[in-house]
Amino acid sequence: MKIALEQDIRKIDHTASKKYHVPSIVLMENSGIALAEEVQKQYHSPKQRIIIVVGMGNNGGDGMVCARHLFNQGKTVIVFLVGNTKKLSPDAALNYEMLKPLDIRMEAINEINGVKKMGKMIWPDDIVVDCLFGIGLKRDVDGVCEFVINEINQSQGYVIACDIPSGINASDGSVMKTAVRADKTVAICLPKVGNIMFPGADYNGELVVKRIGLSDKLIGEMGIPYQTISESDVRRIIPKRQMNSHKGTYGKASLIAGSFGMTGAAILAAKASLRSGIGLLKLVIPESLHTIITTNVPEVVTVPLMETRRGVFGINQVEKLIQNCKGSDVVAIGPGCGQNAEMIEVVRQLITQVDKPLVIDADGLNTLSKNVELLANRVNGIVITPHPGEMSRLTGLTIEAINQHPIDTATEFAVKWQIVVVLKGARTVVALPDGSVYVNLTGNPGMATAGSGDVLTGIITSLIAQGMTLANAAIAGVFLHGYSGDIMAVQRGEHGLIAGDLIEGITQAFNALLKQSI
């Protein structure tokens, strides 16, 4: 599903009016009706009242339409108007006039005393509808509005937000000082970036999307570059297994991983790759790791390289490594490799001399960060899978800045270097060289554990080996990674989840996905 910035919604509204001849007042009517439908679902007793808190913009107008329809259905409705009604937007002002002849109680809030009165009037069984700001908020919430939001949050009523909880920035999900904590959010037309990305996503409660009669054709014309990853998207692009096939059918990869004390990362990435369907995996390792690797992952072909010091292959082995990689369909580097002079040379040669798709993670990224300009001379397609700390080293941005703007950060880097960026997080972002972005919704806090990223590297590498494009492998890989975590969290709980559990979950994720049983 497409996810919109504020500017996208403005463009949709403008196009609907100018090209498709749908007046803005009709869009407001449809929005208010859609909101009323969701409010009605929470209405269980004639004793319930519906408290609608409206601002002076179009979001407030949606609330007034909602109030009119619910009142006409016989519900008890109270409307609190926050602000000066002389400043109502044109469409909201028209709907305000439509409310006046009706026997709806309306209370103006322009000062703190009015806020306190509102707070006292909200009963525990009431439904509270937040129509204060909508998507246009650009500055921190202050004054009376801040107190209004606090009263809504302190109430015991069931809170439904219109479009986005008031106080959340619609275009990045940041909290503008304070925000409504909703039990349900009714996103109008499309979910906004602020509905999807954290911390804003934490304020939605249940998220419901209502299209309000706008056609797929209109939405498709907008060129919106952001969307979520759906199960149908992934099911469509996953390679199908053929009856008449052999291991060569499903590709061959070289995985450069492991060092002294970091053997586990190599094992996790290798097992994940194998469980994701690859035909043959070669694990390139320092020779002292050979026994432990073959004991734990007997299915891999090991390529042990001579060492100059414990757990680190010698610089004279780089040529052998590079030649080995040239025979694979894809190369991955980084999990548990460590950072040393040998790695610097391997990364340089892989990027500039090996014409094979390359997946770079962990210490591969930390090594690349010492000379990011290597990407200007790449001879291959590249997928990088950084967490915010690694992205900070690659870009020079602070971790805080990256966490505040993960989509922008990933997109700028992907477009600049023409690579696929998988920026890991609670909402992993896949940014493509053309500026399009896919946001993953699968996964859970139990996956915040050491080794989880190594598993993702293995999955993506395997999918590329099986013939998927780099973009599709990244998109499908993050979905399957998160979905395997969700499956295992149900079985074992989030608190005890470890990276090895995710590998067990991979096969279950594939089975569920391909059987269309998610």
Q: Which helix (H) or strand (E) holds 52?
A: strand 49-54
Q: Which of 476, 485, 475 is nearest to 506 (CA)?
A: 485
Q: Which two tokens stand for residue 254?
A: 């070289």
β 226-228/206-210 pair status:
unpaired
Q: Which two tokens stand for residue 352?
A: 């500039």
Is 58 one of the annotated binding-site residues?
A: yes
Is 174 one of the annotated binding-site residues?
A: no
Is 202 one of the annotated binding-site residues?
A: no
CA 402 remoteness from chain centre: 14
Q: Is the dihedral of CA 289, 294, 296, 300 positive or negative?
A: positive
Q: Could you tell me where the beta strands, DSSP code E, fall in 243-313?
A: 252-256, 280-286, 301-305, 307-309, 312-313
Q: Are 391 and 423 in contact (CB under 8 A)?
A: yes
Q: Which amino acid is at 202?
A: D
Is 134 one of the annotated binding-site residues?
A: yes
Is 61 one of the annotated binding-site residues?
A: yes
Q: Which two tokens stand for residue 185?
A: 């959010």
Q: Which amino acid is at 275?
A: R
Q: Report the alpha-carbon distance of residue 516 to residue 293 in Å, rounded.
A: 35
| DSSP structure class, residue 99 | H
Is 135 one of the annotated binding-site residues?
A: yes
Q: Are 502 and 452 in contact (CB under 8 A)?
A: yes
Q: Report the alpha-carbon distance of residue 34 to residue 21 in Å, rounded.
A: 20
Angle at 331 (CA atoms; ends 330, 337), nearest 5 degrees: 160
Is 140 one of the annotated binding-site residues?
A: yes
Is 95 one of the annotated binding-site residues?
A: no
Q: Which two tokens stand for residue 512?
A: 């569920």
Is 397 one of the annotated binding-site residues?
A: no
Is 142 one of the annotated binding-site residues?
A: no
Q: Which helix (H) or strand (E) holds 437?
A: strand 437-439
Angle at 163 (CA atoms; ends 179, 167), nearest 5 degrees: 15
Is 94 one of the annotated binding-site residues?
A: no
Is 454 one of the annotated binding-site residues?
A: yes
| DSSP structure class, residue 240 | P
Is 59 one of the annotated binding-site residues?
A: yes
Is 277 one of the annotated binding-site residues?
A: no
Q: Report the alpha-carbon distance of residue 476 to residue 474 in Å, rounded.
A: 6
Is 105 one of the annotated binding-site residues?
A: no
Is 60 one of the annotated binding-site residues?
A: yes
Is 138 one of the annotated binding-site residues?
A: yes
Q: Report the alpha-carbon distance of residue 318 to residue 332 in Å, rounded.
A: 15
Is 265 one of the annotated binding-site residues?
A: yes
Is 493 one of the annotated binding-site residues?
A: no
Is 8 one of the annotated binding-site residues?
A: no
Q: Are 513 and 505 in contact (CB under 8 A)?
A: no
Is 336 one of the annotated binding-site residues?
A: yes
Annotated binding site for (6S)-NADPHX: 58-62, 134-140, 163, 265, 336, 387, 454
Annotated binding site: 58-62, 130, 134-140, 163, 166, 265, 336, 387, 424-428, 453-454
Annotated binding site for K(+): 59, 130, 166
Annotated binding site for AMP: 424-428, 453
